[in-house]
Structure 1
């Protein structure tokens, strides 16, 4: 892994996709260089050249879940964060904005069809998580503040 001082800076959009019960959709996977380091994480990813946070959120939502929404159907950003993390042998410093989207109750089914090669290889599951489940689990999820952020969003 590269030295921590040699971070790759990137910007990313994250989506808190909520179902009618207020649960958030999380993906499950691992770091290719640390296959035993598994974790749950929100839908989303890096911005393309000239892409806004909102447009990236719409694109990532479609690619990672199969759900196509218009930019106006997202709320936010509801939270901003700068985080550092290792992935695939590199350290990243990532500025990320979080948006809220709502899953249609009957007209949508989760799809992996838009996954890229890395996502196909290292994302192995998905699941809906409530605030209570996040607060009670021993499983690793990112961001670590997700239960508190989700609670605040649902109470607003």
Structure 2
């Protein structure tokens, strides 16, 4: 996502990466969800979209362990694995960016917390370049925004999270979707 601006190679000529990732619906006690604004700097104009906290699973990590680590790195919030509710949902997503095509097998978790001041001190160099904004969204804001949000069915996931919190179980299988700045 940091390729120089210019002609974008066709999908077959871009590197392809496969990974497993954990995504966390981080919802505060005011019923707001935390999202980060991300970007593909290899395109002009630069496209932006909003994402939940989360990222790739490191070698040897368990799912819950990775989700907790990602929350700490991306938000500064330290939590225990037992604080996570889920898994809520799984999906495979294909992301076509200007410099890479990523196929990501994602697991979604819920983390309820008190409102807190987000710290981005744990962001990687790439995250510092591309994730330049964060904010807490109400349901009404999420449902009425015209801005791009990934996953596109985040409102549905949030409803599933409410059901899981209320004791209803079951993991949603969301299938395979594409969310891309450069379609594959």
* TM value normalised by structure 2: 0.77
Residue aligning to 2:127 = 119
Could you tell which deviates more after superposition, 144-153 or 116-125?
Answer: 144-153
The correspondence of residues 26-37 of structure 1 with structure 2, limited to 5 A, is 26-34=35-43, 36-37=46-47
* Match for residue 79 of structure 1 among 68, 73, 89: 89
Q: Which has the larger radius of gyration?
A: 2
C-alpha contact 1:28 1:39 (8 A) present in aligned 2: yes
Superposition deviation, residue 24 in structure 1: 0.8
Q: Distance in 1 between matches of 2:40 and 2:33?
A: 22
Superposition deviation, residue 53 in structure 1: 1.5
Alpha carbons of structure 1 residues 109 and 72: separation in structure 2 relative to 1, 3 Å? same
Residue 91 of structure 2 corresponds to residue 61 of structure 1: no
Residue aligning to 2:19 = 10
- Secondary structure of 1:34's counterpart equals coil
What residue ranges of structure 1 are gaps of 5+ in the alignment? Answer: none
C-alpha contact 1:131 1:151 (8 A) present in aligned 2: no
* Match for residue 94 of structure 1 among 100, 104, 111: 104
C-alpha contact 2:53 2:70 (8 A) present in aligned 1: yes
- Secondary structure of 1:77's counterpart equals strand
Q: Distance in 1 between matches of 2:21 and 2:53?
A: 11
Q: Distance in 1 between matches of 2:10 and 2:80?
A: 38
Task: Name the structure with the higher strand share.
Answer: 1
Superposition deviation, residue 154 in structure 1: 2.3
- Secondary structure of 2:47's counterpart equals strand
What residue ranges of structure 2 are gaps of 5+ in the alignment? Answer: 1-8, 167-184
* TM value normalised by structure 1: 0.91
Superposition deviation, residue 68 in structure 1: 0.4
Residue aligning to 2:31 = 22
